Amino acid sequence: MAKPKKFNLRLMVQISFFALIALISVNKTLATAGMGIPFLSAASLHALCPFGGVETFFSLITAGFFVPKTQITSVILMSLVFLLALLFGPVFCGWICPFGAFQEWIGKIGKKIFKKRYNQFILPKVDKLLRYLRYGVLVWVLTVTAVSGTLLFANLDPYHALFKFWTGTVALPALILLGVITIGSLFVARPWCKYACPYGALLGLFNTIRIFKIRRKTATCVNCQKCSRSCPMNIDVCRTETVTNLSCISCYECTSNRNCPKSETLVVQATKQSSHISITVVAIVMLTVFIGGIFGTITLDIWDLKTNEPGSGGKNNGGGQKHQVEMQEAVQITISD
């Protein structure tokens, strides 16, 4: 008799956030035509992406304005994700990010086609070199955004292309990159996350300082290597006592009883002596912080769901670009004085 499949909590969270972003994207188009769903945001996808907070941070602290298409929502989400990363590592990447989920789902097709060869096509030495690429992308994105005061990266952003490809407003390079990543996901698990994602590069740094780390108990480990084979980021978990690899996305697949036959061998702990916490608890804390933080700021009237993107109609729309120009002129006058 076949064993009943266990509830996959992470998959449910991924589907929920993917559906939410897809609905918000559609709602923005509907809102432009005056048919938007009232309780859904009509904000720019960039304003609802925590990396937007990173991109606009320099302009915000130096000149006092948000880079167009970003706003306070981006900064709030950035802060919440940083808090979660400090606790558990890049759980945003492994659980919440809809583009990461999209790559995983395409990868399931690749697994059926290539089986054990899937995610093993790139030579380890080449893979190691390619891992540095996303840090170059991070530096480039932050530099060009700070210098230009615009989201030039939007013309290459595959996340934006995925949820906007049907609108006719997506730049051709972003569509081409989305196509390359989609095809690449058939051969390599999460290729964008591994080699090019600037936000993943930044969040990965938290793996060295996160409070709750993934630890392997060598006393009960049988070296079956299932944990390493299950890792989408190709981390050699079975030869690591504490996972601090910068590529870890905190998906916790290695700790699942689907991939580790010995109970409580791979656990999440603050220290080796402390009690471990279950992945369910991690998920509850993650969702409470992320969703609770959003609703809390809405209650306090801090969360502004209107976008400053030109052409949309809200109190910050239309005037967003004008306000930015006024702020830039004010800064120039101050410097001249």
| The predicted structure's pLDDT at residue 258 | 87
| The predicted structure's pLDDT at residue 4 | 54
Give the CA diameter of the chain.
82
| The predicted structure's pLDDT at residue 28 | 77
| The predicted structure's pLDDT at residue 309 | 44
| The predicted structure's pLDDT at residue 120 | 93
| The predicted structure's pLDDT at residue 323 | 40
Going by C-alpha positions, the residue among 267, 251, 258, 265 that lies closest to residue 212 is 267
Cα–Cα distance between 217 and 227 in angstroms, integer? 13
Cα distance between the two ends of the chain:
82
Tokens 């956030």, residue?
Answer: 17
Helix (H, G, I), strand (E, B) or coil at 310: coil
Question: Low-confidence residues of the chain, pLDDT below 70?
Answer: 1-6, 39-43, 304-337
